[in-house]
Structure 1
Amino acid sequence: MHGHQRAFVKVGSGPVLLLLHGLGCDHTTWEPVIDTLAEHFTVIAPDLLGHGQSAKPRADYSVGGYANGMRDLLTVLGIDKVTVVGHSFGGGVAMQFAYQFPERTERLMLVASGGLGPEVTPVIRAITLPGFHQVMGALTLPGVRHAGIAGMRALSATPLRATRDLDEVADIYDSFKDPAARAAIRHVVRAVVDVKGQIVTMADRAYLTQAMPMCVVWGRDDQVIPVKHAGNAAALAPDARVEVIPHCGHFPHKDDPERFARIMVEFIGDNQPAVYSRARWRTLLKNGHMSPVRTARSTRVRTAPTTSVTAAAGA
């Protein structure tokens, strides 16, 4: 599309899920749940531009640009409407897709998503600093890279919560050996993060989720984006279903794929697709805030049986 190769996986049949991966990842991050989801849905899992097997050109790596790219991919595939699911940075793209193309969005699911608060790990903020490309080039030389990956994988095998996500981080680190991938990731991060944290936020547009079902899933041990952002989502979008999964880090779909898939199947089964109404969308935009009239959907905040999101966020 547009002269650039776009890689994607398409499996299953039924209602369509669009799965958007996070920064530095690719479609393989969804492998633990794809087969289960494909039993119920048509699953489309692309490699975003600049990631995986997709092209890595000098291009528009903004959140809006990615949302446009997903619209074009779906159009090429002959798909009109999807439930869009985004993890981490992909959550920001999912939110932007739902905002730009509400007529094509049936439901929205955010997984440890960006855009729900300014806090983010210092490692990601460091990507915005001058010299990142050169420093990472040295750190990904063969001997250094192999030692670093081995160390991360060893630490991820320990019971420490702080090291839970290092196995996935090792895969991202390995991808940085490609200069084109490093350059693409730097452009992506600079579009959404500065030295103070996340720039892009859904806070000013959260009231628009009143027009479509929304689910937020977080790992309680997330060290990349704090789990308290799940509480932010519950406050910003009171109609959303919020799930905090214990003993999971930044990748709950990999740490507990069975429960993650069950949540997704239940969420889609419990919520009819949004029906786009231009008049209703116009009213929401004109009002600029949550309507006093509640929708039929109830707010459901879940963690462990007796733990609230607020308590989990402070854990």
Structure 2
Amino acid sequence: MPRRSGPAHVQYVTVHGHRRAYVRMGTGPALLLLHGLGCDHTTWAPVLESLARTHTVIAPDLLGHGESDKPRADYSLGGYANGMRDLLTLLGIDTVTVVGHSFGGGVAMQFAYQFPERTERLVLVASGGLGPEVTPAIRAITTPGFHQAMAVLSAPGIRHLTTGAMRLLAGSGVSQLRDLGEVAAIYDSFKDPRARAAIRHVVRAVVDWKGQIVTMADRAYLTEAMPMCVVWGADDLVIPVGHASNARALAPTAQVEIVPNAGHFPHKDHPERFVKIVRDFIRSTEPSRYDRDHWRDLIDAGPPEAPVQAEAGQSPRSPVHAVRRAAGA
């Protein structure tokens, strides 16, 4: 039965014994929206209804987040990509345009790498995986004692006082503080010890004390026939906007959109502009079509020149020119 756009209704499905929460809205070509670290599907609330007017929108709570289960499990990027493939299979969806925010961008890239036959396009929003720099607050999660310290800091009195102050500051009109509302929601979720443990496992898989350790640089050439769009807030204090330049170096023909007066959540700061960017990108590109022989040839040839991992503060030194839009490919 066709699904109509309207208020988001959370549904549940069990995958490999674990309950997964997700929202499904609208009809048309499928969009998979992947949230960031410590967030859930509600981060997409400002854009869900608009996108659902033209697309079937699937917005899950990743395992360990939101209303999904938080087991002792595989919280690697590969594990998350597998989980999204299995969720889509159960929902009867074969191919999607994947939109990933922050950590969800890393999952989106991994999904496209592991399952190119199911990926039509890639939209990265303030994404991880494009450079080493990341806010010290995320690096702190990898340190010994984080779980115990957060158990104290997330006690009711301290948590209510801190999250209340964050939300007040977020509404102060000071641009550098705009993201504190989202940070408050993430902090509040740490009251659940299972959520704290899951987040710690997630971060340790992709970040160490120096910053991000997972990058798409060495495999970017495999996305040769896959259209890619990169969206970033000009005032992002979580992952520097300079990483959008890294994306340009890895994928010279990717569409890059820098949103003025936006922080780490451009889809929340300027939802109408974000929806327009996504819709225009989809309209202007043809979906990627997987060709196994072509994929094998790409792997056999390797990148034009081996990418060099960027050090903090630098752009990747790589002339990778193999990322092209699928139109005409």
**Could you tell me whether the CA contact under 8 Å between 1:19 and 1:84 is conserved in 2?**
yes
**Matches of 2:175 and 2:237, distance apart in 1:** 8
Stretch deviating more after TM superposition (279-288 or 255-264): 279-288
State the shift of 1:158 in Å: 2.6
Q: Does 1:36 align with 2:21?
A: no
Q: Is the 8 A contact 1:210 1:239 kept in 2?
A: no
* Per-residue deviation, 1:288: 1.6
Aligned amino acid, residue 207 of structure 2: V
Query: How far does residue 163 in structure 1 lie from its aligned partner after superposition?
Result: 1.3
1:64 aligns with 2:78: yes
Amino acid at match of 1:2: H
Look up the SS of the partner of 2:287 in the other structure: coil
| 1:270 paired residue among 284, 306, 327 | 284
SS in 2 for 1:289: coil
TM-score (norm 2): 0.88
Secondary structure of the corresponding residue to residue 262 of structure 1: helix
2:276 partner letter: R
Say if 2:179 is the partner of 1:183.
no
The 10-residue stretch of structure 1 (216-225 or 201-210) with the greater mean CA deviation from structure 2: 201-210
Larger deviation, residues 261-270 vs 277-286: 277-286
Return the alpha-carbon distance in structure 1 between the equivalents of residues 87 and 51 of structure 2.
Answer: 20
Which amino acid counterpart does residue 23 of structure 1 have in structure 2? Answer: L
The amino acid that maps onto 1:132 is F
Deviation at 1:162, TM superposition (A): 2.3
Q: 1:293 to 1:186 in 2, by over 3 A?
A: closer
Q: Does structure 1 residue 9 correspond to structure 2 residue 23?
A: yes
Whether the aligned pair in 2 keeps the contact of 1:8 and 1:47 (CA below 8 Å) is yes
Structure 2 partner of 1:110:
124
1:242 aligned residue:
256
- Runs of 4+ in structure 1 deviating by more than 3 angstroms, as ranges, are 290-298
- 1:261 matched to which residue of 2? 275
Report deviation, 1:296.
6.0
In 1, Cα distance between the equivalents of 2:322 and 2:136? 41
Report SS of the residue matched to 1:40.
coil
- The answer for the alignment partner of 1:142 in structure 2 is 156
1:126 maps to 2:140: yes
- Report how many residues are paired: 298
Once residues 92 and 184 of structure 1 are traced to their aligned partners in structure 2, the CA distance between those partners, rounded to angstroms, is: 17
User: Quick one: which of 20, 36, 40 aligns to 1:22?
Assistant: 36
The amino acid of 1:273's aligned partner reads P
The 3 A distance-change label for structure 1 pair 101 and 296 is: closer
Contact 1:56 1:181 in 2 (8 A): yes
Residue 160 (structure 1) aligned with residue 182 (structure 2): no
Q: CA RMSD, aligned part only?
A: 1.4
| CA distance 1:75–1:242, shift in 2 (3 Å) | same
Amino acid at match of 2:231: V
Matches within 5 A, 1:206-221: 206-221=220-235
Once residues 118 and 294 of structure 1 are traced to their aligned partners in structure 2, the CA distance between those partners, rounded to angstroms, is 21
CA distance in 1, matches of 2:142, 2:111: 24
Q: Within 1, Cα distance between the matches of 2:237 and 2:321?
A: 36
1:283 equivalent among 297, 313, 320: 297
- Offset of residue 258 of structure 1: 0.3
Residue 221 (structure 1) shift: 0.5
- Give how far 1:209 is off: 2.3
Match of 1:86 in 2: 100
Which runs of 5 or more residues in structure 1 are unaligned?
A: 299-315
2:12: which partner in 1? none
**Larger deviation: 157-166 or 285-294?**
285-294
Letter in 2 for 1:75: T
How many angstroms does 1:159 deviate by?
3.3
Q: Distance in 1 between matches of 2:80 and 2:193?
A: 21
C-alpha contact 2:252 2:323 (8 A) present in aligned 1: no
Aligned equivalents of 1:56 and 1:241: distance in 2? 35
CA distance in 2, matches of 1:214, 1:200: 19
Q: How far is the alpha carbon of 1:161 from its aligned partner?
A: 3.0
| Structure 1 Cα separation of the partners of residues 293 and 71 of structure 2 | 39
Unaligned ranges ≥5, structure 2:
1-14, 305-319
Give 1:220's aligned amino acid.
A
Tell me, in whole angstroms, the C-alpha distance in 1 between the residues paired with 2:21 and 2:86. 13
Q: Secondary structure in 2 aligned to 1:86?
A: strand
**1:292 & 1:60 partners in 2: Cα distance?**
34
> Which secondary structure does the structure 2 equivalent of 1:7 belong to?
strand
